[in-house]
Amino acid sequence: MGKSIGIIGAGITGLAAAFILSPKHEITIVARDMPGDFGTGWASPWAGAVFHPQSAATLSQQGMQKACFEFYWALAHRDPSSGVKVYPMTEYFDDRLDDSTIWYKGWMPEYRVIPSSHLPTGVKFGVNYTSLAMNPLILLPWLKETLVERGVKFIRSEVKSIAEAKAITKASIIVHASGVSAKELAEDRDVKPVRGQTMFVKTDFSRLVMREGSEYTYVIPRAASGGVIMGGVKSDRLDAEVDVDLKVDILTRVNRITNGAFMNVDLNLVEDIVGFRPGRDGGPRVEREGAVVHAYGMGGAGYIYSFGAAQKVRELIDGPEWKAML
C-alpha cells in the first residue's frame, strides 16, 4: 500500500518527484507558483533548460545527472509533445587543453573532440556530442496534466513551514523542493537566489552551443517555439530590471561562438528574461531528515538534476532496490 506524500514546490524538481513517486504513492503538491505562472519568484519557467553535464560534480551528483539524462532521452523519443528534444551540442572551453577531467566524455552520445583548427578565436579546446533541451513553457504544463491524470492533487498555497505543508496535505512524508524558500523552510543559510538574465530570439538556429572558462555563454534552442535562449550571466543582484548593456555583451559573445549567426539581431525586438535560480553553497541537497526528504539547491542545474534527484528521493522513501521506469 502506498504512502501519503506531500511535496512542497511545483517547480521542475517537485514535479519530477511527483512523477516518479505517483505510480505507487498518493501525492499532494502544495505550492505558491504553478505551471503556467510567470512570476519572477520561481526559476523553473525561465530556465534555459539544456542538459549540459555539470563538470564539478561528486560521484553521487554524476549519478543523478546520468539518471536524469536517461529519463529525458526516453521521454524525447516517446512523446515529443512534452517539449523535450534532442539537439547536437558544441561545447567550447578556454580554460583547458584536453578532456582528461571531463567525466562525461565516455557517456554522452556521439562524443568527439573538435580539431583545434576548427575552434573559434580564444577557444583552447572543444567537443561535440548529442544532448537535449527542454522547453519549460511546454514541459511544466505537460507534467502537471500528466500528474493530474494520475490523481495527483495540486493545492495553491504559500506555506510558511514544513509543518504547515504537512497539515495542508495531510501527508505522512514531506518532500521539500521549495527552491529559494528552503532558506526559511529548512533554515538553510547556504541557500541564496542567483540572478540570471537571458534573451529569447526568434530564429531557425537549431544547435546547442556553449562556451565556458573565462566566460559563460550559450545558445539553447527551444522546442516548438521558433527561437533560442541566449545568455548568460550569474549575478548576486536581486532586482528584476533588465541590464541593457548586458544584452549587448551577451549578443557579442554569442556571435563569437556561432560564427556571427546572430549579427542581424535587433536587441529592441528580443524578449528579455530575468529569473532567480535557487542557488546553494555546497551544491544540491537531497537527503532524508526523519519524515522529511529534502531536494533543493540545484542552482541553475534544476533541469539537469530533476529526475535523477527524484529517483534518489524515491530510494530514500522506498529503498534502493527500486528501478525507475518512464
Q: Reduce the DSSP state of residue 269 to 3 states and report it.
A: coil
H or E stretch at 306:
helix 302-318
Q: Is 218 flagged in the annotation as binding?
A: yes
Q: Measure Cα distances from 91 to 4, 131, 219 in Å.
A: 43, 11, 11
Q: Is 296 flagged in the annotation as binding?
A: no
Q: Is 300 flagged in the annotation as binding?
A: yes
Residue for grid cell 495531510? 170
H or E stretch at 93:
strand 84-93
Q: How far apart are CA 20 and CA 311, in angstroms?
A: 7
Q: What are phi and psi of 3, to 5 degrees?
A: -95, 160
Cell of 57: 560534480
In terms of Cα–Cα distance, which of 159, 153, 173 is closest to 294? 173
Whether residue 232 has a cis bond before it, omega within 30° of 0: yes
Q: Is the dihedral of CA 146, 17, 281, 179 positive or negative?
A: positive
Q: Is 288 flagged in the annotation as binding?
A: no
| Residue 195, phi-psi category: left (phi > 0), alpha (psi -120 to 50), beta (remainder) | beta
Q: How far apart are CA 286 and CA 43, in angstroms?
A: 18
Q: What is the DSSP letter of 120?
A: P
Q: Are the beta carbons of 82 and 326 closer than 8 angstroms?
A: no
Residue list for the binding site for D-dopa:
218, 277, 300
Residue list for the binding site for FAD:
159
Residue list for the binding site:
159, 218, 277, 300
